[in-house]
Every structure is written in structure tokens, then in C-alpha cells.
Structure 1
Amino acid sequence: MSKTSREIVLDILLDIDRNDRFAGDALGGALRANQFMNKKERAYISRLTEGVTEQKIRLDYILNQFSKTKIKKSKPVIRCILRMAAYEIFYMDAVPDEAACNEYVNLTGKRGFRTLKGYVNGVLRSVCRNKAAITYPSMEDGVESYLSVKYSVPEELVGFLLKEYSTDQLEQILQAGEQERGTTIRVNTMQTTTEKFRNILIEKGIKVEKGYYNQTSLIISGYDYIRTVPGFHEGLFTVQDESSSLQVLAAGIRSGDVILDVCAAPGGKTMYAAEQTGERGHVYARDISEEKVDKIDENLERLELHNVSTKVWDAAVPDPDMIEKADVVLADLPCSGLGVMARKNDIKYHVTEDMVRELAAIQKTILDVCAVYVKPGGTLIYSTCTIDRIENEENVTAFLKAHEEYELESLSDYMPECLKKRAEKGYITLLQGVDHCDGFFISRLRRRK
């Protein structure tokens, strides 16, 4: 007997809870396993899974007001069922509250917890009765508590970010996670033009907006599955946020340049660099595992790019064969991911200040290794998809102190008009909710001749 959509979501949430998996990985696997479900059911599964994950702290705050047992101490199945129900009650209007309660009480029994049906029923009925009267922390109760519950972000992380951003700035950043966003793609201009491909998508009923910063970027929505979007299998586009594509533009790649992309998976930057340098140039793309490199190879084959060599290589390990071989080194390094919280809605539950400092140390090591790969007069682009100074500005300062042969060089000539002023100092931090893209840090370091 096939499972209902709610049962599938419950299994996904239990997978995340028990195996410490990221929601995107667990959801993606479940959708692939149920790829023949109709579009409406798949959308429901995605929204409920992502919504419960995104709003977990806020949902627990609500439920704890009506449960004698704290939600975190409940049995995993019951905890997930209560969160799912609360999310439907507060954020989804398709099913009346009473009907939603009945569905989840029945699901409790179906999962072998018949003795807890009364408990689940009591909590959910109380939530429904008091829905409009629930109170939440205010600013007067403390900024950290207020932002934590309102945007479902751990208080520790809120406190960490408040060291760098004002309350208003941080609230604007966190609000980005509450907003609907399309998928940003970059058109493969070696195969088609941006305008021609845009018209193809519109003809197929896909909603298309032009990008804000890159003329080859489009923002799409209203599709079922990215692999079903026209042009995917023909290599006419790749999924890439504009912030990531700006990193490649910041390099100022010229035809015939030799590029080294040290942490390249899944290949978005590699592919864009390959298009920029052309057949006269070459891109060396590396990453730490066979799985990651296979992903790069898959994308290169789909886009029919032949001026790229891939290799499994740990970026923290020096490669004597690459010393002073690269005109441009792209170092988009592993980071805390605080810039993509709006898209990857469970990153926030994993980040601590200790973790940030550990990552910053790894980044310093890799940057030191990368320094010798750049030809005199060449460019090192250091970037991350995070927004804290420890991993960004402080790493650049430490690098320049250790490598006097390098200097910061203005990014203004490589940025769109609206970002030129902020990029003059040689680096820029893009912020989700403030800019029209993911949060991202980009710096341009020139090796003196």
C-alpha cells in the first residue's frame, strides 16, 4: 500500500532527525523515490518538509505552551507529527484545522502510538482553540529571544550575528528566509542567447524574471522539477545564484587564461570560467572526493564544455605541478553557509561560533596553499557563501599580512553599476534580504609582478 503525502513527510523528518541529515538531501531523495507522484502532491511534500524545518523553533515555542512534555523531549515520531500539524494549522490553508488535527491523530495511531492519540489530540485541539491568543517574545523580552522565535533561529546564532550587524540589519537578513524565491539559473551563452532561452521558457509556461546583476542570469519559478525544465538535458543552462556568478566576473577572465578552481563542485563557477576563457584557455577543476568530481563531470558533459580537466584533490594539500601556472585561482572555500540560510533552511541549526573559527582556520590553510599557484600579475579570488567577518575580512587581512606579494585590487570594474561603490575596497559582502541574491563575500587579490 502506497504511503500518503503526510507519511512521506514524516519519514523525511525522521530521517533528518535521526541521521542528522540536511533537509535538502533527505527531501531530494524522497522526491526522486516518488517522482511519479503528481505535481500537487510533490509541492505539498516539499512545502511541508521545508516549512517544518524552517520554522522548527517557532513551532516548538507554540507547542510547548500546550504540552506538559517539552517537544524536544518527546518521542521522535510524536515530535515530528506535532510539528507537522502545527505547521499546517498556522501556515497552510488547504485543510481546515479540525480536519488536519484528525489526520495527525490518525497518523499517530497508524505509526504504532495508539496510546498517545489522546495526548496528540489534546495538544492540537488546544493549539487550534487558542490560535489567535498565542503570545510571542517581544523586543522588550530581549532582542535575541525575539529574533530567535520570530525567525526560528537559535539564540546562540542570533547573538553571534548581532556582534556584526545591528538589530534592524539582522532582522532584514533573517526575513529573507520567509520570502518566496525563484530558482536562479545562468544561460549557457555558448549554446544560445539569454533572450532566446527566456522566450523558450515563457512559451512552456514557466515564469521568468531577468537577473539583477548578471545579464546571463534568469530567475525561474512555476516548474515541477529542475530536470524537466526545457533545455536542462541539452545544457542550455545551469543552476547558479547571481552571487556565485559575480565571483567569476570579479576575476576578469580573458580569452586564453589558465584557471584553477580549487573547490569546484558542483561546477557552476568552473563552467562559467570555461565559457569565459574559451577554447584557447583551460580550467583545472578540483574537489576533495570522487563524488564531488563526478558531479562536476556530469555538468560539464551536459553543457558540452571540453576545455576543463577535473581531478580529485584536497585543496589544503600543495600541488607542485600548479606552482605559478594559473592566471586566475578561484578559491570559493568551504564555509559556515550563513549567506544561504534563506535557501538551505537548516544550516542555521548547525552553526556555532566555534565551528566558524574552525572553518576560518581551514580557509587560511587553503589560501596559503593557493598563493603559490598564481602567476606574478595574476589574480586570486577568495570567496565564501557566508556573511561573518571571521571567515571573510579577517581572513583577507591575515592573508595579506602573511603574503606581502599580494594586494587588494578594486572590484568596481567587474561589478554592475549598483554595486560598484561598495566594491571599491577590493572586497564586497552581499547580504540576503538586502541584495537580490544569496549572502556572499568576494575579494580580489592581485599578485604583484
Structure 2
Amino acid sequence: MASITPRDIAFDALIEILEKGKMSHLVLAAVLRKYAYLPKQDRAFLSRLVLGTVEYVIREDAVLDRFSKIRCAKMKPPVRTILRMGVYQILQLDRVPDSAACNEAVRMAKARGLSGLSGFVNGVLRNISRNKDALVFEGPEKYCLPPWMIGLFSRELGNDRASRMMEAFFRPEPMTVRVNLDRALPDEVRDSLLAQGIRAVPIYGDGQVLALCGVDSPDRIDVLRDGRASVQDLSSSLAGDAAGIRPGDTVVDVCGAPGGKAIHAADILRGTGQVIVRDISGQKVELIRENIAASGFSNIRAEVWDAAAFDPSLEEKADVVIADLPCSGLGVIGRKPDIRIRSTPEKIRDLSALQREILGTVWRYVKPGGTLVYSTCTLTGAENEDNVRAFLAACPFSPVDIRGRLGTEFQEPSMAEGMLKLLPGEHPCDGFFICVMRRNDE
């Protein structure tokens, strides 16, 4: 029996993602754990093939509709998946010969009992290969985004900024970690990473946030296993720094999975104060607890709680409340490509309403004079600035001038009003929104 190949594994993963609606990052993480024995080169190709096929699926389907007599939507799911993988390799992977992409697609079709369609698969892909240099992509096919999303970005950001950002979504983002300064110094962490063959490039905060090059399996990185550093995007780290947390504070993180911001808060507290981090499900909280255990911090505890439900025991108990709320995730499209095809205007509307509901609950945990940090990993006005304006009009809070809290790297005019919007293509991080507000003294 022939051994399973990275393409075979990718096919199974893509069926789960594109045909059954599962999230790409969860499926791929499970696959990489299952096939951890594969050589590093095979794991890298597998990851790229899965995420790339999802990332470019709008373009792939458009190309297939041009060259196939059968519309992509009418194809059998296994055939559609094999063809999408083939188109991705032909159009996007220069190191894969087109002949190999075609031959492997035919092999996969036959191996899955689709011998009668192998000629169709071969003909479509070879026709695309012959004509690929003449293909021109515009609009949704160019950016691999639905028309409504392109229109939204253009209206809110302007055509030029929107174009730069949408192009930046295609650029691979490195894995980033934040050094836990209560546990280690940045130079020590960089030396440890280098000893494992991982180059770390400082990108913020005197080396506290590092971009990593040469990562294969994060589970095997020593500084993450022993708590000297934590996986966290730069944008998420900025939310913790903007909060102005001080030693002795009580910090409540109301939607905290997987725990990065809460662990950052515990690090800032240097063993003082307390961090309470919550999320809605036991599974998410278990993940938080695993990350807390790895960090080694003792001034932090995780609890299961629905952020939309008021908890009287926390009323006016928190110096800082972190509300990084459920959102459409349009800022992290570069890391979670299935958002390109799953998000809808209706979901954004519903999420905006949920965010307002949660804000209307959790502000009551903030002491008079305390701080509320509202953040999302999305870029829509409905989920960000509009929610802030509605909240400030209804609740006893005022914006906090956060200029100077994020060093010299970030000096946007909006920071004077407590807000910072980070855009891929303009900032070295995911798309993100932060707003810091102070509860008025009563």
C-alpha cells in the first residue's frame, strides 16, 4: 500500500474546511499534531497547501469556472477539492512544476475512486497551465475577497489604503512572541531561541516582542514551554501596554481565551495584584489554564463565565477591565483565511450588537477612576468606532490619551482620543482596534 503523502493529508484537511465548514487554523493544528513525525519540509508544504488553497479559493473557483464546462459549485466535493489544490499549485507555487500538480491531481482522483473523472481533472488543469500567463485578475479575483468586503474596506479606509491592506493579507506573517519580563530578559530569550535554530527579530518594546523565523513546531520551543515567553501578536501586546496596568491592580479579562492578554497583565503586575480571566466555555478555559501553567504566574486564575451575564461579585472591583470581544476577525484574515469566505454583513451586524451588550454589562466591574480597554481583531467601524461612540454616550466613561504608552513606534493622532486602529500594510502586525476609556469619578 502506498504511503500517505502531504497532498493526501491536505486533501482530507480541505474537505473538513471547505466542505464541512470547520475552521482552518483548528483543522491544520490537529493535522500537524497527528503527523508530527513528517519531515520539516513536508510539514511546511502541507501547511502552505492547506492554507494557500483556502486563501485563494475565490480566485481558484473563478479560474475553474473559466476553463471547466461544469461550474465549480456543481462539481462533486472531492473533485472540486482536488481541482482547487491543483489550481493553487499551478498559479501560486513556483517551486512545484505544473506537470507535478497535474499528475498528482490525477493520482488523487484515481485513489479516491474517481477514475472516470481523472481525464476531466487532467484536461482542466493542463488547460489552465497552458493559459495561466494570460490570466488577469481584478476585484474579488485579485484580492480573493467577496465584493461586499472590498466595498466596505474602500468606503471606510479609502481606495489606496484599502488596496495596500488587502494586498498585505497575502503576505505571510511570522509567528510572534512576547518575552515575560518577570521571568527572563529579551537577550536571554533570543539566545535560547537561536540555540534551537530559531532566529528572533525584535519588533517592539526594546526586544520584548520578537518575530520568529525558522519555526517548525511551537510545542517544542523551550522558552514557550518554560514560561519565559508567550505566543502573542504585536497588536495584542499593545492592548496590554495601552491599558496602563500598575502593580497591585486587579485586572479582569472578560473574553480571555487563549490567555495572552491576561498573562501579559500578570507579567506587568510583577507578582502583585490579581488577574481574573474568563471565557464562555470549559474548553476555552482549559486552554487558558494550560497557558497559565506554562507561564508559571501565580497571580492569575481562569474561570468559566458568559461575559454577557452580569456578575455582582465583581461590581466595581476591577482597576482594569480588558474586553477583547468576539468579532468578525477581518484583521486576522492573513492568519485565518477562511474568514474571507465565511464572514457576511449580517454576521458583522449581529456581532456589533453582541459587543454592545457585553460592554453594557462589563463596564460595571470597573472601579470609579478605573480603566476599560475595548479591543477587537477586526477593522469595521460598526464593531469599533461606532460602538465606542455609542458606549461613551450611554455610560460614565471618558477617552484616555494613550500617546506615549506605546513607545515611539506608534504615534497616531487618534491615540489622543484613546483609540488606535492597526492595519496590515501600515503596521507590522495583524489588523486590530484598541480603545482605552476611564470611568469617571462619582
User: Which range, TM-score by smaller chain?
Assistant: over 0.9
Q: Give the Cα–Cα distance (whole angstroms) in 2 for the partners of residues 341 and 223 of structure 1.
A: 21
* Identity between Structure 1 and Structure 2 (%): 42
Larger deviation, residues 231-240 vs 205-214: 205-214
Cα drift, residue 288 of structure 1: 0.3
SS in structure 1 of the partner of residue 194 of structure 2: helix
Aligned amino acid, residue 355 of structure 2? Q
Q: Which residue of 1 aligns with 2:387?
A: 395
Aligned amino acid, residue 122 of structure 1? G
Q: Which residue of 2 aligns with 1:309?
A: 301
Aligned amino acid, residue 88 of structure 1? Q
Aligned amino acid, residue 282 of structure 1? Q
Query: How big is the alpha-carbon RMSD for the aligned residues of Structure 1 and Structure 2?
Result: 1.3
Q: Is contact 1:214–1:245 with CA below 8 Å preserved after alignment?
A: no
Sort the Cα spacing of 1:29 and 1:421 in 2 relative to 1 into closer, same or farther, 3 A.
closer
Q: Which residue of 2 aligns with 1:59?
A: 60
For residues 19-418 of structure 1, the aligned pairs below 5 Å read 19-136=20-137, 146-212=138-204, 215-403=207-395, 405-418=396-409
Q: Which residue of 2 aligns with 1:143?
A: none
Cα drift, residue 414 of structure 1: 1.2
Cα drift, residue 134 of structure 1: 2.1
Q: Give the Cα–Cα distance (whole angstroms) in 2 for the partners of residues 322 and 413 of structure 1.
A: 30
Aligned amino acid, residue 410 of structure 2? L
Q: Is contact 2:24–2:338 with CA below 8 Å preserved after alignment?
A: yes
Q: Give the Cα–Cα distance (whole angstroms) in 2 for the partners of residues 436 and 212 of structure 1.
A: 10
Q: Give the Cα–Cα distance (whole angstroms) in 1 for the partners of residues 72 and 304 of structure 2.
A: 44
CA offsets 1:178-213 (integer angstroms, 9 cap, x no match): 213211100122221011111221233212210135
Q: Structure 2 length normalisation: TM-score?
A: 0.97
Q: Give the Cα–Cα distance (whole angstroms) in 2 for the partners of residues 309 and 118 of structure 1.
A: 59
Query: Which runs of 5 or more residues in structure 1 are unaligned?
Result: 137-145
Residue correspondences, number: 439
Cα drift, residue 84 of structure 1: 0.7
Q: Is contact 2:182–2:270 with CA below 8 Å preserved after alignment?
A: no
Q: Give the Cα–Cα distance (whole angstroms) in 1 for the partners of residues 97 and 245 of structure 2.
A: 56
Q: Give the Cα–Cα distance (whole angstroms) in 2 for the partners of residues 107 and 348 of structure 1.
A: 27
Q: Give the Cα–Cα distance (whole angstroms) in 1 for the partners of residues 294 and 40 of structure 2.
A: 25
Cα drift, residue 133 of structure 1: 1.8
Larger deviation, residues 78-87 vs 202-211: 202-211
Q: Is contact 1:411–1:420 with CA below 8 Å preserved after alignment?
A: no
Aligned amino acid, residue 288 of structure 1? I
Cα drift, residue 214 of structure 1: 6.5
SS in structure 2 of the partner of residue 294 of structure 1: helix
Q: Is contact 2:327–2:376 with CA below 8 Å preserved after alignment?
A: yes
Residue number among 403, 408, 431 corresponding to 1:439 in the alignment: 431
Q: Give the Cα–Cα distance (whole angstroms) in 2 for the partners of residues 376 and 135 of structure 1.
A: 58
Q: Is contact 2:240–2:265 with CA below 8 Å preserved after alignment?
A: yes
CA offsets 1:283-333 (integer angstroms, 9 cap, x no match): 111110101111111011111111012110000000000000000000010
SS in structure 1 of the partner of residue 225 of structure 2: coil
SS in structure 2 of the partner of residue 95 of structure 1: coil
Q: Is contact 1:327–1:375 with CA below 8 Å preserved after alignment?
A: yes
